[in-house]
Amino acid sequence: MEGDRIADKHASKQIVEAEQHSLAASVILHLLPGVLILVFFVTVTPLLTERGLPTLLCLFLAAAVVLIPFELGYLLYQARRSNKTFSLGGTILYRQKIPAWQYFALIPPVLVWALVSYFVIAPGIQDSWKSEYFAWLPAWFSLDYNIADCSKAALWVTWLMGLLFNGIAGPIVEELYFRGYLLPRISRLRGWAPLLNVLLFSVYHFFTPWRNLERILALLPGAYIIQWKKNIYLGMIPHCLLNTTGMLLMAPMLFK
C-alpha cells in the first residue's frame, strides 16, 4: 500500500512537471487536425456524393486517413523525439491507476449526462442554429444528405467504417491526443484547463459547427473528472460507448 502511494505521488509529480504548452501552441495543436479533416471533407465529399456515396462515408474516411494518422503520428513523433523510442509511456499522461469501483461509480453518470445533453437538451437548439446561422453551407454538409439515394452496399460499407473508425479507433486516438497529451500540458491553468480543452475539442469538429453547444455540455463533466483522477480511461470508455451506441442507433435510419 505504501509503495502504491509513493508511486501515485511520483506519477502526479511527473504530470505536474509535464512540459507546458503556450496558449498559442495549445490552440494550434487542438485545432490543426480539425482543419485538415475539414479540408479533406470539403475536397472529397462533393466528388463522392456525385458518385452515389453518402456524406457519412466521407466523414468516416476522414477519420481513417486524416484524424488517426495525424494525431497518432504526432504522438509517436513526440515520443520518438523525447524518449528515443516509439513507446507512448512518457508522452501520454493521465494514466494514473484507480480502483475498479471508481470506473463503475464515475462512468455511468458521465454517460447519462452526455445522453441527456445529446438527445434531450441540445436537439432543438442545434436544429435552430443550423437553419439560422449555417443555411449557407452546401446541402452535402448535412450528414444525412443523400442517404435515401445510396445503394445498400454503399450503406453497409459506410456503417462498418463508422463502427470501426467513428465508434472505436477514432475515439481512442482522440482521447490519447486531446486528454492524454494536450490536457496535461495546460495543467498550469488548473480549473480552466478542462474548459479550454473541451471548447477547443468541440470547435475542432469544424464540419458540424452547429453542434458545439451539445458537445461542450456533454463532454465538460468528463474532462473535469479526467483531470481530477488523472485517468484518461474515464473519458475513453464513455467516448467509445457513446459513439458505438450512435452507430447502432444509426443502423435503422441507414437500412430502413
pTM for the model stands at: 0.91
State how far the Cα of 61 lies from the Cα of 30, in Å rounded to an integer. 20
Note the pLDDT tens digit of each residue in 201-228. 999 999 999 999 999 999 999 999 999 9
Sign of the alpha-carbon torsion through 117, 118, 120, 125: positive
Task: Note the pLDDT of residue 119.
Answer: 87
State how far the Cα of 172 lies from the Cα of 250, in Å rounded to an integer. 20
State how far the Cα of 139 lies from the Cα of 130, in Å rounded to an integer. 12
3-state secondary structure 158-189: HHHHHHHHHHHHHHHHHHHHHHHHHHHHHHHH
CB 242 within 8 A of CB 116: no
**Could you say which residues of the chain have pLDDT below 50?**
1-12, 16
State how far the Cα of 239 lies from the Cα of 216, in Å rounded to an integer. 13
State how far the Cα of 181 lies from the Cα of 241, in Å rounded to an integer. 21
C-alpha closest to that of 233 among 85, 77, 100: 100
Task: Note the pLDDT of residue 251.
Answer: 87
- Tallying the residues shown for the chain, one arrives at 256
3-state secondary structure 108-176: HHHHHHHHHHHHHHCHHHHHHHHHHHCCCCCHHHCCCCCHHHCCHHHHHHHHHHHHHHHHHHHHHHHHH
Domain count, the chain: 1
Task: Note the pLDDT of residue 17.
Answer: 56
Copy the grid coordinates of residue 158. Answer: 459506410
What residue numbers bound the domain in which 246 lies?
2-255
Place of cell 497518432: 72
The residue type at 118: Y
The residue type at 105: A
What letter would DSSP give residue 50?
T
Task: Note the pLDDT of residue 12.
Answer: 47
Task: Note the pLDDT of residue 121.
Answer: 86
Q: 45 by DSSP, 3-state: which?
A: helix
